[in-house]
Amino acid sequence: MHLFEYAVLRVVPRVEREEFLNVGVILYCASQGFLETRCQLPEARLQAFAGPTHQLDFDDLRARLRAFERICAGRREGGPIGQFAVASRFRWLTATRSTIVQTSPVHPGLCHDPAATLEQLYHQLVL
């Protein structure tokens, strides 16, 4: 069994209202050197959630979620943060922020296969 940590990616259309919709999961498993995210952007649900008077910039939201994916992957595509060690990238991605894309608190668990666990959490918490 491997110890893992995960956080849920949330879109907070109106930060002042503190309401959110889960759009992804990021999972880190130190013993396996695993850091990945799965996400989706349900535009119709998000727009309905934001309300008719609040237009969301879906291109910006897609870019923000892609940034999470690139940072998880590391290397040059992840920019300066993508060059950090895996643990540091996870800590940076899950740091508290007050923007339209936020993460939940970090939760621990045990698993045999981090990739399968990420898929399971994604289906359970997002879809």
pLDDT digits (tens, 9 = 90+) for 57-93: 999 999 999 999 999 999 888 999 999 999 999 999 9
CB distance 12 to 23 below 8 Å:
no
Question: What is the rounded distance in angstroms from the CA atom of residue 16 to the CA atom of residue 85?
Answer: 34
Q: Is 86 exposed, middle or buried (0-12, 13-18, 19+ CB in 10 A)?
A: middle
Name the pLDDT band for 98 (thresholds 50, 70, 90). confident
For residue 18, the model assigns a pLDDT of 87
Lowest average pLDDT, out of 49-53, 110-114, 123-127, goes to 49-53
Question: What is the rounded distance in angstroms from the CA atom of residue 90 to the CA atom of residue 78?
Answer: 12
Strand pairing report for 107-111 and 21-29:
unpaired
Average confidence (pLDDT) over 7-34: 95
